[in-house]
Amino acid sequence: MFRTALRNVLAHKARLLMTVLAVMLGVAFVSGTLVFTNTLSGALQKSSAKGFDQVDVAVTAEVQDDVGDRIVKTPELTQALLEQSAKVPGAASAIGVVNGFTAIADKDGKLVGGGFQSQGGNYWGAKDARYPLTTGHAPSGADEVVIDSRTAERAGYKVGDTVRISVDGPVLTPKITGIFTTDDGNVAAGGSLALFDTATAQTLFGKTGTYDEIDVRAAAGTSQSALKSALDSALPKDRVETETGKQLADDQAEMIAASMSGMKQGLLVFAGIALFVGTFIIANTFTMLVAQRTKELALMRAVGASRRQVTRSVLIEAFVVGTVAGVTGLIAGVGIGAGLRSLLGTLGATVPDGPLVVSGGTVAAALVVGVVITMLAAWLPGRRAAKIPPVAAMSSVHATASTKSLVLRNTLGALFSAAGVAVVLAATTMSGSDGQAPMGLGAVLLIIGVFILTPLLSRPLIGAAAPVLRIFGVSGKLARQNSVRNPRRTAATASALMIGLTLITGMTVMAGSLQKSIDKMASSAIRADYVVSMANGNELSADIDEKLKATDGVTATSPMRNAPGRIDGTTEYLTGVTGSTIGALTDLEVEAGSFEVGGGQVVVDDATAESHGWKAGSSFTVNYEDGKKQQLTVSGVYEGNELIEGILLDNAALTPHLAEPADMRVMVKTSGGTSDATKDRLEKALGANPAIKVQSKQDLSDEVAKMFTLMLNMLYGLLAMAVIVAVLGVINTLAMSVFERSQEIGMLRAIGLDRRSVKQMVRLESLVISLFGGVLGIGLGVFFGWAAGELLGTSMPTYELVVPWARMAVFLLLAAGVGILAALWPARRASRLNMLAAIKSE
Amino acid sequence: MTTSPLAERTTAVAARATDLSKIYGQGETQVVALDRVSVDFRQAEFTAIMGPSGSGKSTLMHCVAGLDSFSSGSVRIGDTELGALKDKQLTKLRRDKIGFIFQAFNLLPTLTAIENITLPMDIAGRKPDKEWLEKVIRMVGLADRLSHRPSQLSGGQQQRVAVARALASRPDIIFGDEPTGNLDSRSGAEVLGFLRNSVRELGQTVVMVTHDPVAAAYADRVIFLADGRIVDEVYGPTADSVLDRMKQFDAKGRTS
Q: Residue A235 has what DSSP assignment?
A: S
Q: How many angstroms separate the CA of residue B87 from the nearest CA in chain A? A: 8
Q: Which residues pair with A696 in a beta bridge?
A: A530
Q: Going by CATH, does the domain composed of B44-58+87-255 fall within 3.40.50.300?
A: yes
Report how far residue A187's alpha carbon sits from residue A210's, in angstroms, rounded to the nearest whole number: 25
Q: How many angstroms separate the CA of residue B14 from the nearest CA in chain A? A: 18
Roughly what angle, to the nearest 10 degrees, separates helices A805-831 and A487-524?
A: 150
Report how far residue B149's alpha carbon sits from residue B114's, in angstroms, rounded to the nearest whole number: 9
Number of other CB atoms surrounding residue B54 within 10 Å: 14
* Residue contacts between A and B (CB atoms, under 8 Å): 75
Backbone angles phi, psi at A25, to 5 degrees: -55, -45
Same-domain status, A602 and A614: yes
- At residue A604, what is the residue type? V
- At residue A351, what is the residue type? V
- Write the CA distances from B122 to A471, A720, B195, integer angstroms: 12, 40, 23
- Write the CA distances from B8 to A176, B4, B45, integer angstroms: 116, 7, 14
Contacts of B92 in chain A (CB under 8 A): 752, 754
Residue whose C-alpha is closest to residue A577's, from A513, A676, A672, A644? A644
| Mode of pairing for the β-strands spanning A192-197 and A118-123 | parallel
- Select from B91, B108, B122 the Cβ nearest to the Cβ of A749: B91
Report how far residue A182's alpha carbon sits from residue A184's, in angstroms, rounded to the nearest whole number: 5
CB contact under 8 A, B88 and A755: yes
| Mode of pairing for the β-strands spanning B206-209 and B46-50 | parallel
- Select from A481, A743, A754 the Cβ nearest to the Cβ of B88: A754
Same-domain status, A382 and A307: yes
Residue whose C-alpha is closest to residue A461's, from A489, A494, A506? A494
Residue whose C-alpha is closest to residue B158's, from B169, B167, B149? B149
Residue A748 lies in a domain: yes
What pLDDT, on a 0 to 100 scale, did the predictor assign at position B172?
92
H/E element, B207: strand B206-209
The beta strand positions in A167-220, using DSSP E, are 171-172, 175-180, 192-197, 210-211, 213-218
Residue A440 lies in a domain: no
Contact of A757 with chain B, judged by CB distance below 8 Å, is answered with yes
Contact of B100 with chain A, judged by CB distance below 8 Å, is answered with yes
Same-domain status, A329 and A291: yes
- Among the candidates A190, A220, A244, a domain finishes at A244
Report how far residue A568's alpha carbon sits from residue A572's, in angstroms, rounded to the nearest whole number: 9
Contacts of A485 in chain B (CB under 8 A): 109-110
Number of other CB atoms surrounding residue A298 within 10 Å: 22
Mutation choice for A interface testing from B90, B110, B116 by most A CBs within 10 A: B110
Cβ-contact A567, A622 below 8 angstroms:
yes
Q: How many angstroms separate the CA of residue A370 from the nearest CA in chain B? A: 38
Q: How many angstroms separate the CA of residue B2 from the nearest CA in chain A? A: 32
Residues A353-392: b if buried by 16+ CB within 10 A, e if exposed: ebeebbeeebbebbbebbbebbbebbbebbebbbebeeeb
SS3 at position A628? coil
Please report, for chain B, the start and end positions of each structural domain, with discontinuous segments joined by +: 44-58+87-255
Same-domain status, A69 and A34: no
- Select from A482, A754, A839 the Cβ nearest to the Cβ of B106: A839
- Select from B91, B102, B122 the Cβ nearest to the Cβ of A754: B91
Residue whose C-alpha is closest to residue A768's, from A819, A725, A817? A819
Roughly what angle, to the nearest 10 degrees, separates helices A307-346 and A294-302?
A: 140
Contact of A471 with chain B, judged by CB distance below 8 Å, is answered with no
Cβ-contact A521, A580 below 8 angstroms:
no
Q: How far is CA A740 from the centre of its chain?
A: 44
CB contact under 8 A, B94 and A752: yes
CB contact under 8 A, A751 and B103: no
Our count of domains for chain A comes to 4
Same-domain status, A229 and A123: yes
Contact of B57 with chain A, judged by CB distance below 8 Å, is answered with no
Q: pTM of the full predicted structure?
A: 0.74
Widest distance between CA atoms in chain B: 57
Question: A3: buried, middle or exposed (CB in 10 Å: 19+, 13-18, 0-12)?
Answer: exposed
Mutation choice for A interface testing from B85, B94, B112 by most A CBs within 10 A: B94
Residues B67-115 have pLDDT tens digits of 888 999 999 998 899 988 988 898 889 998 999 998 888 888 888 999 9
Same-domain status, A124 and A232: yes
**CA-based angle A335:A336:A340, to the nearest 5?**
120
Q: How many angstroms separate the CA of residue B235 from the nearest CA in chain A? A: 29
Same-domain status, A177 and A260: no
Same-domain status, A176 and A49: no
Number of other CB atoms surrounding residue A33 within 10 Å: 25
Same-domain status, A119 and A235: yes
Same-domain status, A741 and A833: yes
- At residue A150, what is the residue type? R
Widest distance between CA atoms in chain A: 103
| Mode of pairing for the β-strands spanning A210-211 and A192-197 | unpaired
| Mode of pairing for the β-strands spanning A144-148 and A192-197 | antiparallel
- At residue A659, what is the residue type? A
Q: Which residues pair with B50 in a beta bridge?
A: B224
Same-domain status, A737 and A660: no
Residue A530 lies in a domain: no
Report how far residue A523's alpha carbon sits from residue A642's, in angstroms, rounded to the nearest whole number: 10
Residue A425 lies in a domain: no
Backbone angles phi, psi at A357, to 5 degrees: -100, 110
Full domain range(s) for residue A16: 1-54+245-400
Number of other CB atoms surrounding residue B56 within 10 Å: 24
Contact of B124 with chain A, judged by CB distance below 8 Å, is answered with yes
Residue A422 lies in a domain: no
Q: How far is CA B143 from the centre of its chain?
A: 25
Residue A426 lies in a domain: no
Cβ-contact A567, A620 below 8 angstroms:
yes
Residue A544 lies in a domain: yes
Backbone angles phi, psi at A95, to 5 degrees: -120, 135
Note which residues in 132-171 of chain B have CB less than 8 A from chain A: 165
End-to-end CA distance of chain A: 26
Q: Which residues pair with A70 in a beta bridge?
A: A67
Residues A771-817 have pLDDT tens digits of 999 999 999 999 998 888 888 777 776 777 888 889 899 999 999 99
Contacts of B102 in chain A (CB under 8 A): 747, 750, 839, 841
Using CA coordinates, name the residue in chain B closest to A842. Answer: B104
Report how far residue A353's alpha carbon sits from residue A189's, in angstroms, rounded to the nearest whole number: 10
- Write the CA distances from A319 to A9, A20, A173, A364, integer angstroms: 10, 11, 67, 15
Q: Give alpha helix (H) positions in A464-578.
A: 466-470, 473-483, 487-524, 543-549
CB contact under 8 A, A752 and B92: yes
Low-confidence residues in chain A, pLDDT < 50 = 396-402, 842
SS3 at position A131? coil
Report how far residue A448's alpha carbon sits from residue B120's, in angstroms, rounded to the nearest whole number: 43
The residue count for chain B: 256
Contact of A754 with chain B, judged by CB distance below 8 Å, is answered with yes
Residue A302 lies in a domain: yes
Backbone angles phi, psi at A72, to 5 degrees: -95, 125
Contacts of B22 in chain A (CB under 8 A): none
Q: How many angstroms separate the CA of residue B7 from the nearest CA in chain A? A: 32
Q: Give alpha helix (H) positions in A216-244.
A: 224-234
Residues A293-337 have pLDDT tens digits of 777 777 777 777 788 888 888 888 888 888 988 899 899 888 888
Residue whose C-alpha is closest to residue A17's, from A277, A281, A272, A276? A281
ipTM, 2 dp: 0.85
What pLDDT, on a 0 to 100 scale, did the predictor assign at position A524?
75
Residue whose C-alpha is closest to residue A721's, from A381, A355, A51, A274? A274
Low-confidence residues in chain B, pLDDT < 50 = 1-10, 255-256
Contact of B62 with chain A, judged by CB distance below 8 Å, is answered with yes
What's A534-583 look like in SS3?
Answer: ECCCCCEECHHHHHHHCCCCEEEEEEEEEEEEEECCEEEEEEEECCCCHH
Same-domain status, A504 and A486: yes
